[in-house]
Structures are given as C-alpha cells and as structure tokens.
Amino acid sequence: MAFSRFPYAPAPESRSIVNLRPSYGLFIGGQWAEPADGDHFKTESPSSEEVLAEVSSAGPEDVDRAVRAARRAYDEVWAPMPGKERAKYLFRVARLVQERSRELAVLESLDNGKPIRESRDVDVPLAAAHFFYHAGWADKLPYAGFGPSPEPLGVAGQVIPWNFPLLMAAWKLAPALAAGNTCVLKPAETTPLSALVLAEIFQQADLPPGVVNIVTGAGATGAALVAHPGVDKVAFTGSTEVGKQIQRAVAGTGRHLTLELGGKAANIVFDDAPLSQAIEGIVNGIFFNQGHVCCAGSRLLVQEPVAEGVVEALKRRLATLRLGDPLDKNTDIGAINSPQQLDKIRELSASGEAEGAQRWTPACPLPERGYWFPPTLFTGVAPSQRIAREEIFGPVLSVLTFRTPEEAVEKANNTTYGLSAGVWTEKGSRILYMASRLKAGVVWANTFNRFDPASPFGGYRESGFGREGGRQGLAAYLKGPLDG
C-alpha cells in the first residue's frame, strides 16, 4: 500500500539531559524532607520497565506538615504580598520552565511514556504558558470581574493525574498562586518526577518556602490531603468515580471544591466535512497521548453517507502510525502508562468484542518490554455497549453512525459525561447549531484537542464543575460573595 510505513531511521532524543537523583524526598516548606510516617516507592518508565528513581510516599503526618507549611506561608508571606510581586515570581517560574524545557520534555516522556514530540510541543510549552498567563493576573485581580478586592481562599490541596503530569501541575498551581493561595500538590503515583523537578524550579525562582509543597504518594496520600481540615480548597483532576468520593468527603465541611473528571467525547463528522482534515482530527482526537486524555474524542459519530469512506481512510492512516520508543522523535504512539491501565484497556476492548462490535487494529509490532496497546478501531458499535459508554482512557476508538443533525446531538449527549465534543463540517451555521446543543464544556469545530491558558476548560454534568484557564478559571481560587 502506498501509505504503509516508510522506513524511518530511529531519531531518539538523548536522555543525558536528565539528571535524576536516585531518591527523592517530599518538598515541604521549601526543603526536601524524608517522610516521617510514609514510605518509599519506585517509579519506572512504562516503555522499558526500568526503574527511574525512588520516590517518597507521604503519610498523614507528612501531609499535615505540608498543609501547615502552606498555611504559614499563606499567613505570613504569600497572601500579604502585593500582587505585582507574586506576578514576578510566576513570570520567573514560566521562564525557568522554558529554560529547562528540553530536560522536562525528556523526563516527562521517560516517566509517563508519551512521545517526545508531544511532551516537547504540547505539555511543556503549555505548562510554561500557563504560568506566564496567570502571572499577569496576579496584580490585575480587581479587574477580573469578581469585585474590587477579591480574596484568595487560603490553602489549596490539589490532586492531579498521570496523563499530563507537568501540565496538570501548572493548571492547578498557576491560578491558585496568582490568586494568592498557597498549595499542597499531590502528583500521580506513576508520574511524580516532573513535579519534583518543578520543585527544583521553585527553589531556583526563590519562591518563598511553603508557598508550594509537593507530597508524592498513592491514593492514600491524596485522600489524606483532601480530608485535611487545614485545606480550604480542594481541586482534583481524575476519574469521575474518585471525584464523587471527594465530593462526598468535602460535603458539609464548607470547603471549596472544583472537579475535572472523565469524559466520553463525541467527535461528529458530517458528510460535507473536509475529510482529509477530519481524518487527522479524528486521529489526533483519540490517539494523542495514547488516548490517555479525559477530553479524548473516543466516540466517532459519522454521518452515514461518508461512514464507509471515513472508516477506510482511518484504517489507512492508522496503518502509518508509529508505535514505540517515546524518546524517538518519529514516534506517534508511546507506551501505556501502567500495567493497571493496560489491563483496563484490554478488559474494555474485550467487552467490545464480546458485545458484538468489530475490532480492527493495523499490523503493529509491539516492543517486548514495557506496556503497549496498538491503535484500535471498533465499528458496528451500539450506543448501549460498554465501549460506547465507559471511559477507556486508551487508544481505542468506537465508531457509530447517524443520519440527521438531531440524531447526532441526541447520540452525542447520550452520556453522563460532558467534557468535550468535536464537530466537522464546512457549514458555519451547522457548527453553531451543533455547538449550542452539545452538552460539553469545550467544543472543537474543525479541530480537536486544542488547549490554551486563556481558554476555559472543564465539564458539564459528571465531567465535573469549575473551569481551568481564562478569567473564569480564577473563580476557582477566589472567595465569592455567596461563600458563607
């Protein structure tokens, strides 16, 4: 076939730029500290199963120390500091992230398994942009539409996922710090390293001790943080299931909460869509970051007249995707982040077959070591099947069809989620019709998976509440008139 894989020579990014320490402590009060009542665990590269470093697991006492350090920094330093000074610290952080971008990108690909092309071109530049954007807000809050002198909430406890480790840290920290809060951040268990390098960056920036504290660990560490009475604000990005647990834990405490949870986005292709653009958008929508994306376009809805052609074109395109070494600059699809996630993807894919959908994958040799899943397409998917309803969080696309725009809206909204959606058509009026009817926090029209610090991101319904980014995102970290 004309579009089979060209023989590319490997083009691996050197990993020598990353100088990992053998062991990392917790970052509390500006210092590295051994866990008092916690333990240690190893973080490995999902593409090679090689151990990268040993990391501390924070116990309840460690979390308590971190929250107290954040409180002290809030009371004594950060909240009283003029906004223009806070701004300059955040600008410094943005610049330091840019300066160390190559190192951060390589580290992110090592620890997470994502292709270097993505960590280099998306994760790291966007993380820097988030700090830069929010730095500018720090001394302009009175003009943000939240009253003449909006106040911070206090100490923010922030729990982030493994799919965009550095970027999610930036999404959480930048607005919180700009608004005058101090933070205790809990990175994901399988991807703690870029947050620990970010701690080094905070040291290089001379960020006052305790303004950001980083406690690594697993779910128990996050649960201790979320339940800590010294935390005024909880922010969580992760699964809807854990989000509901957190909402229950916070119930009745008067503490503030924002949640960015799962999704099952519909990517809707009309028969007049620019098809070659749409094919690229569909591929980007679901195979970007191995499909480990809460807003991934995991349900493809194609209008019937073009359904067959779209599926054929997709198959041709999927056959050209390169899966393998995340550090290779040619790689399109990296490693699955963990064996647990790989099991989940396998289980849901098996359910798709068992429930009668047709499974297709291109010929795609998988490396022997590490965790891998080939790009996978399901056709003949019924809306009732699990692969059309549940978040797979992997490189698996379910294809459904529709006839009329009304049917597309109905099918797209037939989910408990509401994070994102895509629309592909050349007709402007139809884009606006669809955009106004889709119950989703982000609608990408003739594009997909675009992010920007100025663009509010967040869900409807069980995809969570609150926004990150833009003026709206500041509300998550400021006291409002309705707060008791």
Partner 1 sequence: MGEGRLGVRKTYKLYIGGAFPRSESGRSYEVTGAGGEFLANVALASRKDVRDAVVAARRAQPGWSSATAYLRGQVLYRAAEMMEGRRGQFAEVVAGAEGLAAGEAASVVGAAVDRMVWYAGWSDKLAQVAGAANPVAGPYFNFSVPEPTGVVGVLAPQASSLLGLVSVLAPVVVSGNAAVVVASQERPLPAVELAEVLATSDLPGGVVNMLTGRTAELAPVLAAHRDVEALDLAGAPEGLEAELEATAAGNVKRVLRRRKPEPDWAGEPGPERMLYFVETKTVWHPIGL
Check if the beta carbon of residue 104 is closer than 8 Å to that of residue 317. Answer: no
435 touches partner 1 (CB under 8 A): yes
Query: Among 259, 269, 294, 342, which residue interacts with partner 1 (rule: CB under 8 A)?
Result: 259
User: Other CB atoms closer than 10 Å to residue 49's CB: what's the count?
Assistant: 12
243 touches partner 1 (CB under 8 A): yes
**In the complex with partner 1, which residue's Cβ is closer, 303 or 420?**
420
3-state secondary structure 374-415: CCEEEECCCCCCHHHHCCCCCCEEEEEEECCHHHHHHHHHCC
Active site residue 294: yes
Residue 79-118 contact track with partner 1, rule CB under 8 A, x = bound: ----------------------------------------
Residues 111-140 that bind partner 1 (CB under 8 A): 129
Cα 296 to its chain centre, rounded Å, is: 10
How many residues of this chain interact with partner 1, rule: CB under 8 A?
48
42 touches partner 1 (CB under 8 A): no
22 touches partner 1 (CB under 8 A): no
431 touches partner 1 (CB under 8 A): yes
Instruction: Tell me which residue of 247, 255, 252 sits closest to 231, measured CA to CA.
Output: 255
Active site residue 304: no
Residues 164-193 that bind partner 1 (CB under 8 A): none
Taking the complex as a whole, how short is the minimal distance between the CB of residue 167 and partner 1, in angstroms?
Answer: 15
Taking the complex as a whole, how short is the minimal distance between the CB of residue 470 and partner 1, in angstroms?
Answer: 6
Query: Among 153, 223, 442, 478, which residue interacts with partner 1 (rule: CB under 8 A)?
Result: 442
Tell me how far apart the alpha carbons of residues 2 and 4 are, in angstroms, rounded to a whole number: 6
Taking the complex as a whole, how short is the minimal distance between the CB of residue 251 and partner 1, in angstroms?
Answer: 4
3-state secondary structure 88-153: HHHHHHHHHHHHCHHHHHHHHHHHHCCCHHHHHHHHHHHHHHHHHHHHHHCCCHHHCCCCCCCCEC
Tell me how far apart the alpha carbons of residues 198 and 172 are, in angstroms, rounded to a whole number: 13
> Among the candidate windows 42-50, 182-190, 248-256, 328-336, which touches partner 1 by CB under 8 A?
248-256
Give the type of residue at 67.
Answer: V
444 touches partner 1 (CB under 8 A): yes
User: Other CB atoms closer than 10 Å to residue 360's CB: what's the count?
Assistant: 16
**Angle, CA 478 vertex, CA 473 and CA 482 arms, to 5°:** 110
Binding site for partner 1 (CB under 8 A): 129, 145, 240, 243-245, 247-248, 250-254, 259, 261, 416, 431, 435-436, 440-447, 450, 452, 454-458, 460-465, 467, 470-472, 480-482, 484
Q: Which residues are catalytic?
A: 260, 294
